[in-house]
Every structure is written in C-alpha cells, then in structure tokens.
Amino acid sequence: MAACKRVRKGHLFDEGRKSSGGSAAVMAAIPAGGGGRGYSSEAALVEQRSSTALGFPACDGGGVLDLAGATKEYYDYRRSLYGDVTHKALLVDAVGTLLVPSQPTAQIYREIGEKYGVEYSEEEILNRYRRAYQQPWGHSRLRYVDDGRPFWQFIVSSSTGCSDSKYFEELYQYYMTDKAWHLCDPGAERAFKALRKAGVRIAVVSNFDTRLRPLLQALKCDHWFDAVAVSAEVAAEKPNPTIFLKACELLGVKPEDVVHVGDDRRNDVWGARDAGCDAWLWGSDVHSFEEVARRIGVQV
C-alpha cells in the first residue's frame, strides 16, 4: 500500500509547520507555516554526516549514498542488540501520516463562508492564510494552547476577511468530524493490531490542540493507541524533543527503544532523533504501516 497522496496542512486544525513546500493552488497543499523549509544541500550534508556517525557508509565507490546497504546494515545491527523485534514502541505523527483533510482547506473556507459573506477566491484565501500564519503569534510561544481558539480565530478572520463568530464556530466544529478527515492508510488498523499483539506500544505525537482526541474518536481509531501526546497539553511543539520524551514517558519506554514515523523531515525526523529516538520519514523511508511493522520485525 503506497503512502497516500497527501492533502497537506492549512486547515482549521492543522498539525503545525511542515518543512516541505506546497502547491499554490489549494491551501491544504501548503505547509502550515507558509513558505516552509526545503530540504537544502546543507541539510542533506548534515543528514549524511549523521548517517556516517551512526555507522552508515557515506557513499559507494562512485560517490553515491548507498542507502539500501546502510539500511540493511543498521537493522542487522539493531536486531543483534534487540532481537527480531527492533523497537519496543512506535510513535506516529497525526496529520499527513495517520490522517489527512478530505478536501482542500481553501475550498472549505470559501464554501462554508459564502453564506457569511466571504467573497475571496480560494487562491486569495490561500495567500492570505500564508501571510497570517507567517506572522509571529505574540499571545504564546505555542500556537496551540488548550482548544486553540484564539489562534484559529485570528487565522480564519485573516484568511477570509470574515470575523463572524458563527462562521468560525461552523468551521471549528467541521474540523472535528469524520467528514473533514480520512485515514491516510486503509491498512493502518491491521498493522497496529499486529504490532500491539507483538508487544509494541503505540502513541500519537502531534502538534495539535485539544480537539485531537475527539477527532480520533470520531474516526473510530482512538482505541488503536496506548497514549496520545498533544502539543497543547505537553506545552511543547515538534521538533522540540520534549514532546517525544513525554510520549516515551507515557508509554513507559526509553527513547532508544522507540521509532517515530512522520511526514516532516524537520519536525518528525530531526525532532525525534534529537530526543534519542529512531525516526523514519513517511512517504520516503516507509510508505504504509504494514511496511513500518515489517521493518520493526512484525509480520502483518
């Protein structure tokens, strides 16, 4: 099962700044921080050096990074230490990995907003959203505090020019429903059941407000997880290592026994590694939760 073709961040409840660039056509295809960060050559060099430090061969004789050989060598190494099941716990990013918006967000903002007098086109909403999200959020160092209302009220009114409280509430409630979202990988439940049966504990780690738990319930997947670490509750947002360490604490495991899977190189991969966890990039290192399970050493 291939990783889903993502409808990216930019919705009323998105999961924080993502580093990949996005489409200019629809808001849901943009990183939630606006321009975002590309994977620069400097960053590539950092990752190459990190790989070398972990014992990976930096490149083959022709100067090309031998990723296949490095991966096999690394997992042979982990299995020599930990046995067939290489990790005691799995941390999973929410938006972009576990679940995605079902419709482009600019489209939803416009469609719901029409009856409230919103006249901007989807492209205009997208551009205004980007500008609003790039502005410093002075009320708190965290965007998502408790239910996130002050932050999202600012984003919605700035994006659409409409400050009608009824409009905001309709959008706010919409993004708590299963209509607004769908699971990225239809095979996720089967993979998670196999992992938990094998003794692997699982937690969601997300830059989100307190709406995440009701949303997981609405999607009927909350029971798949042993714990949920939400930035609004932990008071730390990825890539801050604190949120990963909190997830490890909730699961009762050490960071070195954990692998985190997420779709953002900066927030998920680098953040998890800074916390001492292993990390795989969704859509690159792994493309389905069945593949995640197999790499951990669990057959689905």
Choosing from 157, 174, 191, the residue where a domain stops is: 174
Residue 40: pLDDT over 50: no
Note whether residue 149 is domain-resident: yes
The mean per-residue pLDDT over the stretch 63-77 comes to 67
Q: Closest by alpha carbon to 87, among 203, 241, 238?
A: 203
The reply to whether 73 and 209 lie within a common domain is: yes
The reply to whether 214 and 136 lie within a common domain is: no
Lowest mean pLDDT among 20-34, 107-121, 188-202: 20-34
Which one-letter DSSP state was computed for residue 201? E
Q: Closest by alpha carbon to 282, among 259, 258, 263?
A: 263
The mean per-residue pLDDT over the stretch 283-299 comes to 97
Lowest mean pLDDT among 23-32, 88-97, 127-136, 226-235: 23-32
pLDDT for position 6: 45
- The region, left, alpha or beta by phi > 0 then psi within -120 to 50, assigned to residue 144 is beta
Note whether residue 20 is domain-resident: no
Note whether residue 33 is domain-resident: no
> What is the rounded CA–CA span in Å between residue 194 and residue 59?
35
The reply to whether 209 and 261 lie within a common domain is: yes
Question: CA 67: distance to chain centroid?
Answer: 24
- Give the pair of three-digit tokens for residue 136: 């410093």
Which one-letter DSSP state was computed for residue 226? S
Pairing mode, if any, of strands 89-93 and 201-206?
A: parallel
pLDDT for position 69: 66
159: number of Cβ within 10 Å: 28
Highest mean pLDDT: which range of 76-80, 81-85, 213-217: 213-217
Choosing from 174, 204, 232, the residue where a domain stops is: 174
> What is the rounded CA–CA span in Å between residue 253 and residue 122?
45
> What is the rounded CA–CA span in Å between residue 158 and residue 154?
6
pLDDT for position 140: 62
CA dihedral 210, 167, 151, 39 (to 10 degrees): 90
The mean per-residue pLDDT over the stretch 159-187 comes to 97
In the numeric block, the tokens 């716990």 are attached to: 89
pLDDT for position 182: 97
Lowest mean pLDDT among 52-56, 141-145, 173-177, 191-195: 52-56
pLDDT for position 59: 40
Confidence class for position 139, pLDDT limits 50, 70, 90:
low
The reply to whether 84 and 133 lie within a common domain is: no
Confidence class for position 166, pLDDT limits 50, 70, 90:
very high
Note whether residue 224 is domain-resident: yes
Pairing mode, if any, of strands 99-101 and 181-183?
A: antiparallel
Residue 267: pLDDT over 90: yes
Note whether residue 10 is domain-resident: no
Note whether residue 207 is domain-resident: yes
Confidence class for position 145, pLDDT limits 50, 70, 90:
confident
The reply to whether 214 and 149 lie within a common domain is: no
The alpha-carbon radius of gyration of the chain (Å, integer) is: 20
Which one-letter DSSP state was computed for residue 3? P
Note whether residue 117 is domain-resident: yes
Question: CA 284: distance to chain centroid?
Answer: 14
Q: Closest by alpha carbon to 13, among 112, 139, 147, 111?
A: 147
| Residues in Cβ contact with 163 at an 8 Å cutoff, skipping those fewer than 6 apart | 153, 157
- Average pLDDT score over the chain: 82
The mean per-residue pLDDT over the stretch 75-104 comes to 93
Residue 34: pLDDT over 60: no
The reply to whether 165 and 244 lie within a common domain is: no
pLDDT > 70: percent of the chain: 75
CATH assignment at residue 224: 3.40.50.1000
Give the total residue count for the chain: 300
Q: Closest by alpha carbon to 100, among 8, 18, 209?
A: 8
The reply to whether 70 and 192 lie within a common domain is: yes
The mean per-residue pLDDT over the stretch 107-116 comes to 97
pLDDT > 90: percent of the chain: 66
The reply to whether 267 and 198 lie within a common domain is: yes
Q: Which residue has the higher pLDDT, 11 or 248?
A: 248
The reply to whether 93 and 110 lie within a common domain is: no
Q: Closest by alpha carbon to 98, among 197, 198, 195, 189?
A: 189
| Residues in Cβ contact with 295 at an 8 Å cutoff, skipping those fewer than 6 apart | 75, 86, 280, 286
268: number of Cβ within 10 Å: 28
The mean per-residue pLDDT over the stretch 1-11 comes to 48
Confidence class for position 79, pLDDT limits 50, 70, 90:
confident
> What is the rounded CA–CA span in Å between residue 175 and residue 14?
9
> What is the rounded CA–CA span in Å between residue 198 and residue 128?
48
Choosing from 153, 174, 195, the residue where a domain stops is: 174
Note whether residue 13 is domain-resident: no
For residue 119, what are the domain limits?
106-174
Residue 226: pLDDT over 70: yes
The reply to whether 84 and 209 lie within a common domain is: yes
**In the chain, how many domains are there?**
2
The reply to whether 129 and 208 lie within a common domain is: no
The reply to whether 71 and 216 lie within a common domain is: yes
pLDDT for position 90: 99
Kindly report the pTM of this predicted structure. 0.78
CA dihedral 78, 81, 86, 88 (to 10 degrees): -130
